[in-house]
Chain A
Amino acid sequence: EVQLVESGGGLVQPGRSLRLSCAASGFTFDDYAMHWVRQAPGKGLEWVSGISWNGGSLGYADSVKGRFTISRDNAKNSLYLQMNSLRTEDMALYYCAKSGGSGTYYNNWFDPWGQGTLVTVSS
């Protein structure tokens, strides 16, 4: 069974940093692209970032470009999101999601999703 377990969320002050992790199991991790998608409280879904199977291709939403960095460690079956210069508008539940059927991060759907880790940005 595919499992994605996010961790690293918490309360952080504006301007500070946080690193999210996603531990993957139940599939060959380095065969698939991976993504982060977030959902602000009571709001819709927003794609944040994606990374190809080998980390060679990656992309970001404009809202996080230059502040967030996605990475992966295939030896540890893990995905990461380094979030710097956090803003109140970054407050959300952050989901890790596996790409549907592809190692590139192009033309991806997301399946499955983890249960999310909550990031709260407040002074």
Chain B
Amino acid sequence: DIQMTQSPSSLSASVGDRVTITCRASQSISSYLNWYQQKPGKAPQLLIYAASSLQSGVPSRFSGSGSGTDFTLTISSLQPEDFATYYCQQSYSTPYTFGQGTNLEIK
């Protein structure tokens, strides 16, 4: 199985900050990498698919990059509604696997 490792596991930031979350795969997954946001008590929502494609309706302050084994999710200017947990997911091969999550908190 492909292991996905996110860093950091938790992050404190302020409104307006630029934030970067990293996801590393245990083997090359080309661009088969997706990002989700989950707020407490809610289902995850897709933000980015295929490493860098912004899902329809997602604000443009979210962006994704990377290929191979190393990927990043960047939020250019944090908004109050962005404080949540973020997960990466590889779709290169089954079983699909997720990173352990990054909890983004208000500083």
Q: A residues bordering B, Cβ < 8 Å? A: 35, 44-47, 50, 59-62, 95, 100, 105-116
Contact = CB atoms under 8 A, between A and B. Distances in A.
Give the residue among A45, A105, A108 with the most B Cβ atoms within 10 A: A45
A99 to B, nearest CB: 9
Contacts of A112: 43, 45-46
Interface stretch (B10-18, B75-83, B93-101): B93-101
A65 to B, nearest CB: 9
Contacts of A60: 95
5 contacts: A47-B97, A108-B91, A112-B46, A113-B45, A115-B42
Interface in B48-102: 49-50, 55, 87, 89, 91-92, 94-101
User: Size class of B's contact patch?
Assistant: 20 to 34
Interface string B21-56: 000000000001010101000111110011000010
A44 B55 CA distance: 22
A45 B98 contact: yes
Contacts of B32: 107
B95 A111 contact: no
A113 B43 contact: yes
A109 B96 CA distance: 9
Contacts of B46: 100, 109-112
Contact of A109 (B42, B91, B97): B91
A95 B97 CA distance: 15
B67 to A, nearest CB: 15
B51 to A, nearest CB: 11
B96 A108 contact: yes
A107 to B, nearest CB: 5
Given A111-B46, A113-B43, A113-B44, A44 B91 contact: no
B89 A115 contact: no
Most buried by A among B44, B94, B97: B94
A50 to B, nearest CB: 7
Contact of B87 (A45, A108, A114): A45
A115 B39 CA distance: 12
